[in-house]
């Protein structure tokens, strides 16, 4: 009788000697490599577990609980989510001067505005400036340093540098703004208050985008631009037909980062206004809600963060997927 030997795919007589399986020996070099990788990954993994996974898993459970002022908790299902939704659509608080807007709706509009100014104002300006810096315009290196300065100056000092010229008492820009129709405390009323927060974000965010885009443009081989010039392409065609498609992955990354600002940006309005003039963002409202050290607020803020994340995360992923396919296959 023959038995089947799977590895060889054939029949062998009964009693045939068994094939030996040789185990691959682990070398000292492989052990050293694994130890090195484990040491390198230990810190980021530990940081991820402690500062992200642990905190977010805790907030996930907290979103389905009700907590009193003494810290006692009980499971309440989706009650906190219902409360958040009712606050958005049924809140009677309205300090906007616009009849169909309440304070909660303004916070959402403010947050969506950060994505809008990043994608439609800051990003195009950064792209243009990066292109002209790449073309060795006069004083290109000087402008590169000027654009990059806001990224190395502490944000507190940067906020002071932005606010001082706008001060109504001694600010040198206040007279000019007054001539344009802005009066009194610039952060006093919405939407004027939010407008100046947006201006700050555009001013302070250009340098970061320019650094990334300049690096991406600098990686494009010079031969491609030289070939385009030989074919008679001007600056406009070179910019739209060559530069943008070849750095499109970088542009998509910056667009995604701009979209995430909707749920993550809070420090800028917090330092600029402290929330005056209805300049709260979603993240700042959650931050301020938890900063009150009121246990009853924690569950509501956790539910609000989870609700907006569930709504906004698929939108960001869908936009990223669609944009990535626009210049799919373009490479150099």
- Predicted pLDDT of residue 17: 57
- Predicted pLDDT of residue 116: 95
Q: What is the DSSP string of 180-243?
A: TT--S-TTSSTTHHHHHHHHHHHHHHHHHHHHHHHHHHHTS-HHHHHHHHHTT--HHHIIIIII
- Predicted pLDDT of residue 167: 79
CA distance readout (Å), 225 to 239, 245, 296, 327? 10, 13, 61, 18
Q: Who's near 320: CB < 8 A, 6+ residues apart?
A: 252, 255, 256
Is the domain 92-324 a CATH 1.10.3720.10 member?
A: yes
CB atoms within 10 A of CB 332: 10
Backbone angles phi, psi at 168, to 5 degrees: -75, -15
Task: Give the residues of the chain that fall short of pLDDT 50.
Answer: 2-3
Neighbour-count burial of 258, counting CB atoms closer than 10 A to its CB (0-12 exposed, 13-18 middle, 19+ buried)? buried
- Distance of alpha carbon 332 from alpha carbon 329, whole angstroms: 10
Neighbour-count burial of 112, counting CB atoms closer than 10 A to its CB (0-12 exposed, 13-18 middle, 19+ buried)? middle
- Predicted pLDDT of residue 251: 93
pTM, full prediction:
0.80
CA distance readout (Å), 167 to 170, 186, 190? 6, 8, 18
């Amino acid at each position: 009788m023959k038995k089947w030997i799977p590895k060889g795919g054939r029949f062998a007589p009964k009693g045939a000697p068994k094939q030996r399986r040789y185990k691959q020996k682990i070398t000292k070099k492989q052990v050293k490599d694994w130890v090195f990788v484990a040491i390198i990954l230990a810190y980021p993994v530990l940081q991820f577990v402690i500062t992200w996974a642990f905190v977010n898993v805790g907030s996930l459970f907290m979103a389905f609980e009700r907590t009193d002022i003494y810290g006692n908790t009980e499971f309440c299902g989706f009650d906190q989510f219902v409360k958040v939704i009712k606050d958005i659509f049924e809140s009677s608080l309205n300090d906007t001067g616009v009849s169909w807007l309440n304070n909660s709706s303004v916070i959402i509009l403010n947050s969506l505005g950060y994505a809008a100014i990043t994608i439609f104002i800051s990003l195009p300006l950064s792209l243009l400036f990066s292109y002209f810096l790449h073309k060795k315009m006069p004083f290109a290196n000087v402008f590169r340093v000027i654009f990059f300065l806001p990224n190395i100056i502490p944000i507190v000092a940067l906020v002071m540098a932005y606010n001082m010229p706008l001060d109504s008492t001694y600010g040198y820009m206040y007279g000019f703004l007054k001539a344009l129709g802005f009066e009194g405390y610039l952060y006093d009323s919405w939407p004027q208050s939010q407008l100046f927060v947006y201006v700050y974000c555009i001013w302070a965010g250009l340098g970061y985008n320019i650094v990334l885009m300049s690096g991406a443009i600098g990686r494009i081989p010079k031969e491609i631009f030289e070939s385009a010039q030989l074919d008679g392409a001007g600056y406009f065609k070179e910019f739209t037909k060559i530069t943008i498609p070849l750095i499109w992955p970088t542009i998509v990354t910056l667009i995604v980062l701009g979209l995430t600002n909707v749920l993550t940006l809070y420090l800028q309005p917090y330092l600029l206004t402290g929330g005056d003039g209805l300049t709260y963002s979603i993240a700042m409202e959650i931050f301020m809600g938890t900063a009150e050290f009121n246990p009853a607020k924690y569950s509501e803020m956790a539910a609000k963060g989870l609700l907006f994340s569930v709504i906004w995360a698929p939108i960001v992923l869908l936009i990223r997927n669609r944009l990535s396919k626009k210049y799919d296959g373009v490479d150099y």
